[in-house]
């Protein structure tokens, strides 16, 4: 049965458009959360790793840790389906706190070599070397935690709706 000029059912068109809007909402939410996290935490972790003095590294790391604690990123996993060690917020947070404590406890009488060693250790803790260069060590999906499962489901549902109903719409239009 043909409907209107396009031949597509209005219900199919509406469901396709709902899926598309849901997908755009999902993508926008992920992008905005990523930018926000980078501005409020990830960027400070990178700056702490790049710092040339203990005091500067401590200042930047403290900003990141304050954000982490204030947003409840101290325990749990960012994964949705199964848990892997690289998604463990508790380990990540404990590691950052240990680094922060080490920075704060270094003696003002410490030699330049000792200070440099602490900064090098911090850099190794905060940065990972990958195929695309260095990146901040942090669990995948941290920017949308604790809403990872909801956003995963919304993304999957929106893509399925858009694809399935879009294909039906195109099939009915021909």
In a domain, 65, yes or no: yes
pLDDT at 5 (0 to 100): 52
Residue 8 binned pLDDT confidence (cut-offs 50, 70, 90): confident
In a domain, 90, yes or no: yes
CB 123 within 8 A of CB 135: no
58 vs 44: CA distance, rounded Å: 10
- Three-state DSSP state, 78: coil
In a domain, 52, yes or no: yes
Indicate the length of the chain as a whole number: 174
In a domain, 4, yes or no: no
Please tell me the pTM assigned to this model: 0.87
pLDDT at 51 (0 to 100): 97
CA triplet 40, 41, 42: central angle to 5 degrees? 120
58 vs 141: CA distance, rounded Å: 25
Number of structural domains found in the chain: 1
In a domain, 148, yes or no: yes
Residue 80 has pLDDT above 70, yes or no: yes
In a domain, 119, yes or no: yes
Q: Which residue has the tokens 């509406």?
A: 14
In a domain, 161, yes or no: yes
Residues 24-57 have pLDDT tens digits of 999 999 999 999 999 999 999 999 999 999 999 9
Q: Residue 82 belongs to what domain range?
A: 10-173
In a domain, 115, yes or no: yes
Range in 64-78, 99-113, 160-174 the model is least confident about: 160-174
């Amino acid at each position: 049965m043909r409907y209107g000029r396009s031949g597509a059912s209005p219900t199919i068109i509406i469901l396709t458009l709902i899926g598309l809007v849901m997908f755009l909402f999902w993508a926008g939410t992920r992008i905005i959360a990523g930018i926000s996290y980078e501005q409020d935490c990830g960027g400070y972790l990178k700056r702490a790793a790049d710092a040339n003095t203990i005091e500067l590294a401590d200042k930047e790391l403290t900003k990141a840790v304050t954000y982490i604690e204030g947003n409840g990123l101290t325990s749990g996993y960012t994964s949705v389906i199964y848990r892997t060690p690289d998604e463990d917020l508790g380990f990540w947070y404990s590691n950052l706190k240990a680094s922060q404590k080490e920075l704060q406890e270094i003696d003002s009488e410490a030699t330049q070599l000792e200070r440099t060693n602490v900064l090098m250790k911090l850099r190794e803790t905060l940065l990972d070397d990958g195929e695309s260069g260095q990146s901040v060590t942090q669990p995948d999906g941290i920017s949308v935690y604790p809403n990872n499962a909801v956003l995963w489901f919304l993304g999957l549902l929106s893509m399925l709706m858009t694809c399935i109903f879009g294909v039906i719409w195109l099939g009915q239009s021909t």
